[in-house]
Structure 1
Amino acid sequence: MKATTTLKEKMMNILKMISAVLLTICVTACVSQDSYYNAGEYRKPVAPTSYDVTPQVIYRIDDHRYVSIENYDHCNGQNYYIDTKAGIRTEIMRGNLSQYQGRLSIADPTGLNIVIPEAPGGTCGDKGCNAYLGYSTDGGRTFKYKKYMQSGSPHIDSVNYSILVAKDGFYLVKKISQTNGSTSVTKYPLVPSIDLEKPYPPDLHDEYLSEKPLPLLRTPSGQDRFTCDSSIHPSNLPPAK
């Protein structure tokens, strides 16, 4: 009986050690992701393998403003905000932006406010992964980043989100009921140089508008979702190891 008890105790200790290791990995992953954005890592140039693929326009605002993906494999690559009239070409979040399955309407008539969300794929464990959106108040020349969702499967849960960009801010709409379609709505202010992760300038604040009707905001092109042809992949992939 004593030997059996000792074996059980050993097994319990092993399970506790495994749980502790998994928890540490999950927490470290979330902290590393936050550090990536907070430290500006998303803006640093990288030198990935140069893939022989044609750029894809994955989101079009109008005839001269769009988001493209370049140097990619199965829609996972380098993403750029481009304004051909203003001569703007800004690298934004890397990865597969088309994993964001929600709606996106960019309808600021001044052209200054731009919002681009992400929704990482895969699973994230019990703690979940943070999903960010990039926002610009200078017509896409520069972007700052804000966490808008924490989820175990951001790419799946993103279908419940809509982001509507207006002249004075953007609306983050989240469906909270699949039965009656009820939503929560937060409007974030957008003014030049604002940092949504820091205290706002005087007289600016978030607005909670769940009980109020939303304005009709429509992207000039009519597009309201990312699209990417995932069947396209480079022919010069490095050989598998």
Structure 2
Amino acid sequence: MKRLPLIVLSCLTILAACQQTQMPDTGRYTYSDMPLPNAKPALMISENWKKYNTPPQIIYKIDGHRFITLESYDNCSGETWYNDTKSGVRTRVGHTSPNGFLGKLIIDDQTGMNVAVPTVTTGSCGDRGCRNYLAYSTDGGKSFNWLQYDSDHISFDSVKSSKDYSFYVTSDSLYVTKKWGNFGNDLIDRYPLRLGYVYGKNAKLPEGVSIQFGSTLPKGLRTPSGQDHYICDASILPTNGD
């Protein structure tokens, strides 16, 4: 498969650098502050969301002490938390509907520093389409930044499109792969990860560090638990629901 000319890739690199921002928990609605001419900015955290009395569910298990939970949810849509019982880290990431993300997630970083939590828009995208984001951490889950992973493809059905994406986290990189065409070809982009690396509008990267388009995925990557996708039991419902 032919890849895009160098001048086009250079333009995509510049565009990708503008499509990520940190979304701190301010106690109010927290939106991306980057310009999104074709989509409403993504709502990530709000203290105004209704609190549900559903028990926490582990939707993704990395190993015996690292896992992602869904809490205060209805119909498997609620608050996502990253937990590390060994280091004592517990961080609220944002809002997730795990059953809506149909792609693959592999976290194979034995250092425990790098984490990724992909999300997907499950509501109507309208005639302007949706943009979808992934939260990533380079400090063992203490803090997260946000990255738009479908920057070259505005989806009109994010749930359906999500099955084309796979995310692989290693000790030094995040690999984002997307199925391309009907011939089994994947587009693979590599985001180098280190403590303090931040992509996007407020980028904090050493000179020479950038997204590598057309990368190669390392072989044999596997989450220690063996899990490669989210799971959530939709039969568990709150008793204080609407």
> Where on the TM-score scale, by shorter chain, does this alignment land: which range?
0.7 to 0.9
Segments of structure 2 that go 5 or more residues without pairing to the other structure are 1-35
Asked if structure 1 preserves the Cα contact closer than 8 Å seen for 2:69 and 2:82, the reply is yes
1:182 aligns with 2:185: yes
Correspondence for 1:51: 52
The secondary structure found in structure 2 opposite 1:57 is: strand
Residues in 2 aligned to 1:176 and 1:182: alpha-carbon distance in whole angstroms: 5
Amino acid at match of 1:204: V
Offset of 1:196 from its aligned partner? 1.2
Q: CA deviation at 1:28?
A: 7.5
- Aligned to 2:95, what secondary structure does the other structure show? coil
Conserved? CA contact 2:145–2:198, under 8 Å: yes
1:32 aligns with 2:32: no
**Of the candidates 205, 212, 215, which is equivalent to residue 207 of structure 1?**
212
Task: Give SS of 2:188's match.
Answer: strand
The letter for the 2-side match of 1:135 is Y
Give the deviation of 1:236 after TM superposition. 1.7
Q: Does 1:95 align with 2:96?
A: yes
The question of 1:226 aligning with 2:230 is answered yes
What TM-score results when the alignment is normalised by the length of structure 1? 0.78
Q: 1:48 Cα shift?
A: 3.5
CA distance in 2, matches of 1:115, 1:58: 13
Q: Distance in 1 between matches of 2:208 and 2:237?
A: 49
The answer to whether the 8 A contact 2:120-2:158 is kept is yes
Normalized against structure 2, the TM-score is what? 0.78
1:158-208 CA-to-partner distances (Å, cap 9, x unmatched) read 100110001111110000123x21110000111111111145321212212
**Retained in 1: the 8 A contact 2:175–2:217?**
no
Counterpart Cα distance in 1 of 2:190 and 2:223: 18
Max Rg structure: 1
Q: Does 1:160 align with 2:155?
A: no
Q: Secondary structure at the match of 1:157?
A: helix
Q: Do 1:105 and 1:218's aligned partners in 2 also have CA atoms closer than 8 Å?
A: yes
- Displacement of 1:96 in angstroms is 0.9
The question of whether the paired residues in 1 share the 8 Å contact of 2:103 and 2:162 is answered with yes
Paired position in structure 1 for 2:77: 76
Q: Distance in 1 between matches of 2:41 and 2:54?
A: 30
- After superposition, the C-alpha distances for 1:195-239 in whole angstroms (9 at most, x for unaligned) are 1114532121221235x453321100000000001121111224x
Match of 1:172 among 171, 176, 181: 176
Distance 1:61 1:53 in 2: 22
Residue in structure 2 matched with residue 193 of structure 1 by the alignment: 196
1:23 alignment counterpart: none
- Post-superposition Cα deviations, 1:95-124, rounded to whole Å, max 9, x if no partner, equal 313311100000111110001100111331
**What's the C-alpha RMSD, in Å, of the aligned pairs?**
1.9
Aligned to 1:195, what secondary structure does the other structure show?
coil
> Runs of 5+ in structure 1 lacking a partner?
1-26, 37-41
Runs of 4+ in 1 over 4 A off after TM superposition: none
CA distance in 2, matches of 1:221, 1:62: 5
- Is the 2:76–2:233 Cα contact (8 Å) retained in structure 1? yes
Aligned residue-pair number: 202
Q: Which has the higher contact order (CA 8 A, sep 6+)?
A: 2
